[in-house]
Amino acid sequence: MMVSALIEREQENMANPIRNGVFIAVVGPSGAGKDTVIAYAREHLGDDSDVRFVRRVITRPCDGASEHHDTLDDVAFAEAAAAGAFALTWEAHGLKYGIPADVDVAIANGRVVIANGSRTALPALRARYENVVVVEIVARPEILAERLARRGRESRGEVLARLARAADVTIAGPGVVTIDNSGEREIAGRDFVAVIGKAIAFSDVGRF
């Protein structure tokens, strides 16, 4: 409770948009490999004090097959949001997602924050933080279809519908970097680590 109160007081002293650090939002269609690319970066930069990898809160059990996250049910999530536990929340595919409030403090202190994001949350994200880089992870349609089918969570028709929806989405605005993850994990991973390196340099000298 005391920690939450301290974070809340620090947030009150911050002007929006929050400056100094960089928020890197990783977005892209299901099957593109967002979690895989983030995991690669964590393996290589997890010990860097300038970088913070966000553990999201989601109203879905953590099954171990995708990202590691904290779980709350709908009621507990709403209570946490009302208590100021999140810097940002959004809804997608019938689930609620939250970014912990202490991310505001990390950005204000000049750190690079990395989170699996959502296209629908980008306007709110850009309004809250001055320096936002959107990394769009993509893959060829046949690769996406193969990966989604391998998960076994959806029927063929549902997979095709999901791919059609993804194809209709265009990400606009400044600071968008696209990384193709159709091939080996290391290729996209290295490209992502390079983007993070530029963000760290910006946080150091005030220029991205």
Per-residue model confidence (pLDDT) at position 130? 95
Strands (E), 35-175: 51-53, 57-58, 70-71, 86-92, 95-100, 112-116, 132-138
* Residues 6+ positions from 72 with CB-CB distance below 8 Å: 57, 58, 59, 80
Residue 33, annotated as binding a ligand: yes
Cβ atoms of 111 and 51 closer than 8 Å: yes
Residue 35, annotated as binding a ligand: yes
Number of helices (H), then strands (E), in the chain: 8, 9
pLDDT band of residue 111 (cuts 50, 70, 90) is very high
Residue 191, annotated as binding a ligand: no
Residue 3 clears pLDDT 50, i.e. is over it: no
pLDDT band of residue 155 (cuts 50, 70, 90) is low
Choice between 82 and 142, residue whose per-residue pLDDT is larger: 82
Torsion sign (Cα): 146, 140, 32, 163? negative
Quick one: what percent of the chain has pLDDT higher than 90? Answer: 61
Task: Quote the CA–CA distance of 42 and 48 in Å, as a whole number.
Answer: 9
Compute how many other C-beta atoms are within 10 angstroms of the C-beta atom of residue 171.
12
* Residues 6+ positions from 81 with CB-CB distance below 8 Å: 89, 98
Residue 32, annotated as binding a ligand: yes
CATH number for the region 2-55+104-200 comes to 3.40.50.300
Residue 28, annotated as binding a ligand: yes
Look at phi and psi of residue 150 and say left if phi exceeds 0, alpha if psi is from -120 to 50, else beta: alpha
At residue 198's C-alpha, the angle toward residues 196 and 202, to 5°, is 115
Cβ atoms of 180 and 29 closer than 8 Å: no
What pLDDT digit, counting tens, does each position of 8-38 carry?
Answer: 545 555 667 999 999 999 999 888 999 999 9
Choice between 94 and 153, residue whose per-residue pLDDT is larger: 94
Residue 31, annotated as binding a ligand: yes
What pLDDT digit, counting tens, does each position of 51-67 carry?
Answer: 999 999 999 887 665 66
